[in-house]
């Protein structure tokens, strides 16, 4: 890492006056000598000045009232804590609707509703099962096995620029060619990726791409999602190795341009601008990835600065290549 | 940045007082966090009603789980983690619905004819050359808000937690579950992106300082 890069890592804290004194002195000395870092510092200061103008909206006063009503119910009587949860907006309904709601949540009504639904489901499902001639277990697992053939993303798979693309690969009607264990691991890997559990996804998908019995479709899907998982997990070095493996083994992969866009982004993050440009220029030929790739290329094409810091990709057009909200890891919010 | 309500009691002590039956203590917590949380949610989901609903859900969860809070972490990181998880859940639910495109005019439905409202992208890019007309502070605020909403999610959440509540980078790292250096990088990228998106306003800002 160059001296400038090391110092630029501390620039924000320097500006915010949160840097320990020793590092502060070192950075201050560097800024007085460097021709590049002062400009970066200036950009950050301007960014902070703009950030300070972010308008602050006030939440509706009714929110606070509803919250406090629930708090009082909980605090006043432990037995009303359940009521507290149901009296909160947006679910709260007062007056006539409140009485209707109160009736609907009575245990007798809830139980009766559940039983009716169970009977209705049984009436629909049993004849259907007989029509299909399949045992329930097979009916339930079949879509998963199909998905695990590597051509169908799990239900929770992100819907970013690449979202849902695999389902278009045409394998939905195909039987799962991968052996059961590999197929199951691919399925688990894709599901883990879909719920943003990248560590679990990496574990499962690594097993799939290493399996000698993985068919081409399963291997390709697993390798692409493995590379993405590494990328989402912040490990671009491992991600680019997987992308390169994917490009070498499956040059005709129908999502290769998307993969090239992602890999190009990763290379840019790593500072390998030459390889990033190479891949992004290919991705820019594809209408599906052109806009995002061109945005990335523009960022590469900015006037060179000495080891400018890597940035996450995105475009003004709203076609971010960064993770979609649903790709963010969700952490337990249990009290601690 | 929103300054916290001036109250010497720590969040943890207020929560403890609430568990002992002091609802006023909880009200102080609500007043401390309602605005930063609402703005975090609003800039994440872009819909005031949804943000309002989620805000209440955040506090509802705090109320329901308060007695399980043992104080081994900060209340602030806990409540922001709840808010963040709710935005993730919301985004997942929205995946199954048709998304509002950033290129659709604001206030219009997709498929509608173009209107003069402009899109979120337009709000950031702007349609007027600065200098050809007076730039008022509201215009700057609108474009800053739009630029923040267009930040990549990872950068936006870090930016908002820092900007709205002044959370320490380490606390944000605890909420997001990434190393603190990653949080700092995301904040830096967010600021650079903001500066680049609104470069045409810099002269004006310089003049107002």
Exposed e or buried b for every residue in A128-160, given b needs 16+ CB within 10 A?
eeeeeeeeeeeeeeeebbbbbbbbbbbebbbbb
Supply the pLDDT for residue B135: 57
Nearest-Cα residue of chain A relative to residue B81 = A333
Q: Indicate whether A172 pLDDT > 50.
A: no
When pLDDT is averaged across residues A247-267 and rounded to a whole number, the result is 82
A43-55 pLDDT, tens digit each: 999 999 989 989 9
Tell me what the pLDDT averaged over chain B comes to.
Answer: 80
* Residue to test with chain B: of A6, A19, A36, A46, most B Cβ within 10 A: A46
- When pLDDT is cut at 50, 70 and 90, the band that residue B70 belongs to is confident
Supply the pLDDT for residue A293: 79
Supply the pLDDT for residue A29: 92
- When pLDDT is cut at 50, 70 and 90, the band that residue B96 belongs to is low
Q: What is the 3-state secondary structure (H, E, C) of chain A?
A: CCHHHHHHHHHHHHHCCCCCHHHHHHHHHHHHHCCCHHHHHHHHHHHHHHHCCCCCCCCCHHHHHHHHHHHHHHHHCHHHHHHHHHHCCCCCCCHHHHHHHHHHCCHHHHHHHHHHHHHHHHHHHHHHHHHHCCCHHHHHHHHHHHHHHHHCCCCCCCCCCCCCHHHHHCCCCCCCCCCHHHHHHHHHHHHHHHCCCHHHHHHHHHHHHHCCCCCHHHHHHHHHHHHHHHHHCCCHHHHHHHHHHHHHHCCCCCCHHHHHHHHHHHHHHHCCHHHHHHHHHHHCCCCCCHHHHHHHHHHHCCCCCCCCCCCCCCCCCCCCCCCCHHHCCCCCCCCC
Contact B13, A62 (CB under 8 A): no
Nearest CB among B53, B124, B176 relative to A90 is that of B53
CB-based contact A330 B188, cutoff 8 Å: no
What proportion of chain A, given as a percentage, has pLDDT over 70? Answer: 63
Q: Indicate whether B155 pLDDT > 70.
A: yes
- When pLDDT is cut at 50, 70 and 90, the band that residue B55 belongs to is very high
CB-based contact B144 A44, cutoff 8 Å: no
Nearest CB among A76, A156, A234 relative to B92 is that of A156
Taking the Cβ of residue B205 and every Cβ of chain A, the question of whether any pair is shorter than 8 Å is answered with yes
Report domain B1-97's class: mainly alpha
What proportion of chain B, given as a percentage, has pLDDT over 90? Answer: 59
For B85, other C-beta atoms within 10 Å of its C-beta total 18
Supply the pLDDT for residue B79: 96
What gap in Å lies between CA A279 and CA A261, rounded to an integer?
Answer: 7
Contact B14, B24 (CB under 8 A): no
Q: Which residues of A touch B93 (CB under 8 A)?
A: none
The answer to whether ipTM exceeds 0.95 is: no
Q: Indicate whether A28 pLDDT > 50.
A: yes
Beta-carbon contacts of A60 under 8 Å, excluding residues fewer than 6 positions away, are B52
Q: Which residues of B touch A262 (CB under 8 A)?
A: none
What gap in Å lies between CA A126 and CA A134, rounded to an integer?
Answer: 11
B125-143 pLDDT, tens digit each: 554 444 444 456 778 888 8
Which residues of chain B does CATH 1.10.1740.10 include? 1-97
Nearest to B55 by CA among B45, B70, B69: B45
Q: Which residue has the higher pLDDT, A216 or B91?
A: B91
Q: Indicate whether A324 pLDDT > 70.
A: no
Nearest 10 degrees: Cα torsion A125, A128, A134, A138: -50
Nearest CB among B30, B178, B188 relative to A12 is that of B188
Which run of H or of E encompasses A10?
helix A3-15
Nearest-Cα residue of chain A relative to residue B143 = A54
CB-based contact B23 A63, cutoff 8 Å: no
Contact B152, B194 (CB under 8 A): no
Nearest-Cα residue of chain A relative to residue B101 = A318
Q: Which domains does chain A have, with CATH numbers?
A: 3-50 (no CATH), 139-303 (1.25.40.10)
* Residue to test with chain A: of B38, B62, B152, most A Cβ within 10 A: B152
Q: Which residues of B touch A159 (CB under 8 A)?
A: 95, 99
A102-133 pLDDT, tens digit each: 566 566 666 777 778 877 777 776 666 555 54
Q: Indicate whether B33 pLDDT > 60.
A: yes
Q: Which residues of A touch B186 (CB under 8 A)?
A: 312
Q: Which residues of A touch B195 (CB under 8 A)?
A: 43-44, 46-47, 50
Which residues of chain B does CATH 1.10.10.10 include? 128-209
- CATH 1.10.10.10 given to domain B128-209: yes
Interface A-B, measured as beta-carbon pairs within 8 A, has a size of 232
For B177, other C-beta atoms within 10 Å of its C-beta total 14
What gap in Å lies between CA B8 and CA B62, rounded to an integer?
Answer: 21
Nearest 10 degrees: Cα torsion A244, A246, A251, A257: -80
Q: Which residues of A touch B209 (CB under 8 A)?
A: 49
Taking the Cβ of residue B40 and every Cβ of chain A, the question of whether any pair is shorter than 8 Å is answered with no
Q: Indicate whether A139 pLDDT > 80.
A: no
């Amino acid at each position: 890492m160059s001296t400038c890069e090391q110092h630029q890592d501390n620039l924000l804290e320097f500006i915010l006056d949160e840097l320990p004194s020793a590092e502060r002195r070192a950075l201050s000395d560097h800024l007085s000598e460097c021709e590049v870092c002062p400009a970066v510092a200036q950009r950050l200061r301007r960014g902070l000045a703009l950030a300070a103008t972010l308008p602050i909206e006030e939440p509706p006063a009714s929110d606070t009232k509803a919250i406090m009503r629930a708090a009082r119910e909980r605090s006043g009587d432990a037995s009303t804590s359940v009521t507290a949860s149901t009296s909160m907006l947006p679910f709260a309904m007062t007056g006539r609707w409140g009485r209707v709601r109160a009736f609907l949540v009575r245990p007798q009504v809830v139980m009766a509703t559940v039983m009716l639904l169970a009977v209705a489901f049984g009436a629909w499902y049993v004849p259907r099962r007989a029509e299909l001639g399949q045992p329930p277990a097979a009916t339930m697992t079949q879509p998963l096995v199909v998905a695990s053939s590597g051509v169908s993303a799990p239900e929770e798979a992100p819907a970013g620029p690449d979202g849902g693309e695999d389902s278009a690969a045409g394998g939905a009607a195909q039987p799962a060619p991968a052996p059961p264990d590999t197929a199951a691991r691919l399925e688990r890997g894709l599901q883990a990726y879909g719920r943003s559990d990248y560590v679990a996804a990496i574990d499962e998908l690594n097993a799939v791409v290493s399996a000698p019995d993985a068919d081409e479709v399963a291997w390709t899907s697993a390798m692409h999602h493995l590379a993405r998982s590494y990328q989402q997990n912040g490990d671009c070095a491992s991600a680019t190795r997987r992308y390169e493996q994917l490009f070498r083994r499956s040059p005709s992969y129908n999502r290769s341009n998307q993969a090239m866009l992602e890999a190009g982004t990763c290379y840019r993050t790593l500072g390998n601008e030459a390889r990033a440009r190479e891949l992004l220029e290919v991705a820019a030929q594809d209408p599906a990835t052109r806009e995002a790739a061109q945005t990335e290329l523009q960022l590469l094409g900015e006037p060179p600065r000495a080891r400018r810091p890597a940035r996450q990709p995105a475009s003004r057009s709203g076609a971010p290549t960064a993770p979609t909200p649903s790709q963010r890891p969700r952490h337990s919010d249990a009290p601690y | 940045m929103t300054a916290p309500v001036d109250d010497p009691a720590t969040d943890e002590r207020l929560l403890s007082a609430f568990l002992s039956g002091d609802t006023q203590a909880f009200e102080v917590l609500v007043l401390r966090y309602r605005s930063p949380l609402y703005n975090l949610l609003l800039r994440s989901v872009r819909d005031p009603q949804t943000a309002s609903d989620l805000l209440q859900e955040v506090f509802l969860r705090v109320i329901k789980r308060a007695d399980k809070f043992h104080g081994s972490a900060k209340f602030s990181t806990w409540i922001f983690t709840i808010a963040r998880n709710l935005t993730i859940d919301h985004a997942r639910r929205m995946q199954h619905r048709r998304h509002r495109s950033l290129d659709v005019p604001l206030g219009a439905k997709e498929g509608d004819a173009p209107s003069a409202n402009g899109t979120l992208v337009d709000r950031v890019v702007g349609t007027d050359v600065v200098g050809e007309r007076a730039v008022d502070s509201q215009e700057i605020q609108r474009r800053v808000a739009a630029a923040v909403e267009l930040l990549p999610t990872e950068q936006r959440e870090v930016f908002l937690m820092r900007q709205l509540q002044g959370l320490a980078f380490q606390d944000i790292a605890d909420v997001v579950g990434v190393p603190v250096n990653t949080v700092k990088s995301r904040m830096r990228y967010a600021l650079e992106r903001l500066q680049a998106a609104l470069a045409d306003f810099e002269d004006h800002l310089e003049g107002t300082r």
